[in-house]
Structure 1
Amino acid sequence: MNILHETKDILRRSGRISLELYKIMIPIIIVVKVLQELGLIVWLARPLAPVMHLVGLPGEMGLVWATALVNNIYGSMIVFVSLAGQHDLSVAQVTVLGVMILVAHGLPVELQIVRKSGPRIGFQALLRIGGALTLGWLLSRIYAWGGWLQDASVIIWQPRPESESLLAWGLGQVQNLAMILVIITLLSAVMRVFTAIGLTGLCVRLLAPVLRVLGIGSEAGTLTIVGMIMGLAYGGGMIMHEAHSGKVGSKDIFSSLSLMGLSHSVFEDTLLMVVIGGHVSGLLWARIIFTLVVIALLVRVVAWLGDDFFYRRFFKPVEVYSKPEPCCPGAASPEVMPERK
């Protein structure tokens, strides 16, 4: 193995992935900031008040979820802390709210990342928002039925309010974008090493039965695991790169990104909700089980509906920039479907 050649290849690949993400993220980050400064997110929260009552939460918590939907988890935490003192929330209630935030947040950015890989944005938005509401409602009923987690919640850590200075905000965003490049470069290097020593192939073989049930082939299996652990921006960005290179089949991309949409960054994001009073039973375990069941059912429904319906409603193949090559040694190149109008 030529180390210099491998290093250059990793840097080029990481740069391309990061650039593709920046093209999506930067305009949307600016638009969301403008909406936030104009106070328009509050208007989005008003229709959510009846939804909050449906899952056993005060209507004011709609502002927390609205902030998560449009902005990000950190922004919703700040809003939650500012409102939590006005309500006596139980651990169960905070867990339900936390689960809804984890399943559906940062949609303007994350849905665009998904769309660039082929899945149609309408269904993905429905999957995440509908999934959040369904899981939130189920958990609220289960916790109420069993009388579980009814103690008052305790906020372990309060996030620092965001600076009002636009300069400070801008510098913070630049740091976040730079960190994306660093993390993607490290992930690419680690995955290249794991592939070289055979660890990637071993993991895929061990997980093959689960991935097969979820409709995810070996080409996308490793990247799906990256997305679940690291976050949709990283796993989704790598999937987007593979989609444009023609290395991953359409249904693998669809299943992988649908799974990542419902469960990604499972450790870091779960911890964020734990420190504001949520419980790991719902935030982690119920979310993962729910995701696996939903994706397994979705794969079977998609197969039953047929390819014509799949490409018309669920997926629009992206342009392939280069000749397809197997992503892993010995893997067969998937068939690249022509783009359908």
Structure 2
Amino acid sequence: MTILQEIKSVLWRSGRISLELYKIMVPIIIVVKILQELGLVVWLARPLAPVMQMVGLPGEMGLVWATALVSNIYGSMIVFVSLAGEHPLSVAQVTVLGVMILIAHGLPVELQIVRKSGPRMGFQALLRIGGALMLGWLLSRIYAWGGWLQETNVLLWQPQPESTDLLVWGLGQLQNLAMVFVIIVALSAIMRVFTAIGLTSLCVRLLAPLLRVLGIGSEAGTLTIVGMIMGLAYGGGMIMHEAHSGKVGSKDIFSSLSLMGLSHSVFEDTLLMVVIGGHVSGLLWARIIFTLVVIALLVRVVAWLGDDFFHRHLFKPVEVYSKPEPCCPGAIVPDRK
């Protein structure tokens, strides 16, 4: 294949992945904005007050997590900064809150991306929200038991409040959507290069023992690594593409996306929580260890429950399309086999 054909193939594949993501993201972004404008997120925060107290946080921090759950990390940071002056927290408390935000945020968009690949949304929501609460509770107990990170938190950075102008907001969202396409193009091109020089297969071979324990085959291994580093929207988008192509098995998809749900964008998102005062001991290391343990146990429980339970409650196979990997667009024909 010539260089020009490779470029066309990368652009075509990236365009398909981006289009599938846009179909999910655009309606949900609009709905979430309406909820925010109507002040309905505050109502979601009220039931979370007792939950916050369970993990050693003031009830008012429920609004921070509620914002993260329905919106994104940046929105929750703005709410946190607005409350920080009235409710000073320790570094340990901010770390607990940060871990919960990192595991469970942007659920309307991210759970739809996961659902489009096959895993059932109800269980994935339970996994992420339950995982956030479990790790938050564990860390709060550990930090209190050891007397660690009990000093008063100091904000390292304060984000600027979002503009209330709808036109400015709309232009910002268009920029974000355009950036999604740019990043997917870059990732697709990098993965093609890595595959060509053998780096992809080397990474998968090196990580094969760990991936095998986590129930993730070689076909999904590289995409799982992409998701953990770059984020669920990107890794999940690529998994979604592979799921519809029939190249990745159901249990590989389930394990991969469950892992990504608990730990994704491990560098960028972790740094965002660091700048509001969280500590890497919980934000990064505890989260990764917790994720590996949970997914390893989950894989074994799913195998014990059997395929019938898996397909009835945890996974709904997606339609597989029979299509070429062209250098230019072609028709998509459902594979009826």
TM-score bucket of the superposed structures, by smaller chain: over 0.9
Residue in 1 aligned with 2:54? Answer: 54
Q: Which residue is 1:188 aligned to?
A: 188
Q: In the TM superposition, what whole-angstrom CA distance separates every residue of 1:234-279 from its partner, at most 9, and x where no partner exists?
A: 0000000000000000000000000000000000000000000100
Q: CA deviation at 1:133?
A: 0.1
**1:294 counterpart letter in structure 2:** V
Matched residues in 1 for 2:75 and 2:278: separation?
17
User: 1:95 and 1:322 mapped to 2: Cα distance?
Assistant: 47
Q: Output the aligned Cα RMSD.
A: 1.3
Q: Is 1:85 aligned to residue 123 of structure 2?
A: no
- The within-5 A match list for 1:120-199 is 120-199=120-199
Secondary structure of the corresponding residue to residue 60 of structure 1:
helix
- Whether 2:312 is the aligned partner of 1:312: answer yes
Match of 2:328 in 1: none
Partner SS for 1:151: coil
| Residue equivalent to 2:240 | 240
Match of 1:278 in 2: 278
Separation in 1, partners of 2:41, 2:199: 45
Following the alignment from structure 1 to structure 2, what is the Cα–Cα distance between the partners of residues 112 and 164? 27
Aligned residue in 2 for 1:200:
200
With over 3 angstroms needed to count, the CA separation of the structure-2 counterparts of 1:337 and 1:288, relative to structure 1, is farther
The 8 Å contact of residues 246 and 324 in structure 1, kept in 2 or not, is answered as no
Instruction: Kindly provide the CA deviation profile for residues 53-96 of structure 1, in whole angstroms up to 9, marking residues without a partner as x.
Output: 00000000000000000000000000000000011200000000
Specify whether residues 37 and 269 from structure 1 end up closer, same or farther in structure 2 by C-alpha distance, changes over 3 A only. Answer: same
* Aligned twin of 2:330: none
Q: Distance in 1 between matches of 2:216 and 2:160?
A: 40
| Alignment-derived partner of residue 117 in structure 2 | 117
Task: Give the AA of the match of 1:201.
Answer: S
Q: What is the match of residue 301 of structure 1?
A: 301
Equivalence for 1:216: 216
Q: Distance in 1 between matches of 2:76 and 2:87?
A: 16
Segments of structure 2 that go 5 or more residues without pairing to the other structure are: 326-334
Q: How big is each residue's C-alpha offset from its partner over 1:176-207, in whole Å with a ceiling of 9 and x where there is no partner?
A: 00000000000000000000010000000000
Residue 332 of structure 2 is matched in structure 1 by: none
**CA separation of 1:201 and 1:304: change in aligned 2, threshold 3 A:** same
Deviation for aligned residue 1:324: 9.6
- Aligned partners of 1:298 and 1:322: how far apart in 2? 32
Q: What TM-score does the superposition give when structure 1 sets the normalisation length?
A: 0.95
TM-score (norm: length of structure 2): 0.96
Query: Which consecutive segments of 4 or more residues in structure 1 shift more than 3 A?
Result: none
Equivalents in 1 of 2:73, 2:243: separation in Å? 28
Return the alpha-carbon distance in structure 2 between the equivalents of residues 88 and 202 of structure 1.
Answer: 48
Shift of 1:14: 0.1
**AA aligned opposite 1:102:** L
Residue 329 of structure 1 corresponds to: none
Percentage identity across aligned positions? Answer: 88
Supply the distance in 1 between the matched residues of 2:312 and 2:243 (Cα, whole angstroms): 18
